[in-house]
Amino acid sequence: MLYPSIDSLLEKVNSKYTLVTLSSKRARQIQQEGDVLIPRPFSDKPVGKALEEIREEAITIKHS
């Protein structure tokens, strides 16, 4: 089972494309810098940590 679920993530983000873009950019930052914005992430991988941050609304989307 995928955690967090795609349904819970799409409640926070308006499209799958935005979700993929946001999570990949954040995962790259986590991989380079090593800092995570949530206290104890469930996942060990950067993409999983990024998705958990999106679910917990620790990061926001900036529309330009």
Is 63 a member of any domain? no
Is 42 a member of any domain? yes
Residue 61 pLDDT level (bands cut at 50, 70, 90): confident
Residue 33 pLDDT level (bands cut at 50, 70, 90): very high
**What is the model's pLDDT at position 51?**
93
Is 29 a member of any domain? yes
Is 26 a member of any domain? yes
Q: How many domains does the chain have?
A: 1
Residue 25 pLDDT level (bands cut at 50, 70, 90): very high
Is 62 a member of any domain? no
pTM here is 0.87
**Are the C-beta atoms of 53 and 38 separated by less than 8 Å?**
yes
Distance CA 37, CA 25 (A): 14
Distance CA 19, CA 27 (A): 12
Structural domain containing residue 39: 6-55
Is 47 a member of any domain? yes
Is 32 a member of any domain? yes
Residue 64 pLDDT level (bands cut at 50, 70, 90): low
Is 40 a member of any domain? yes
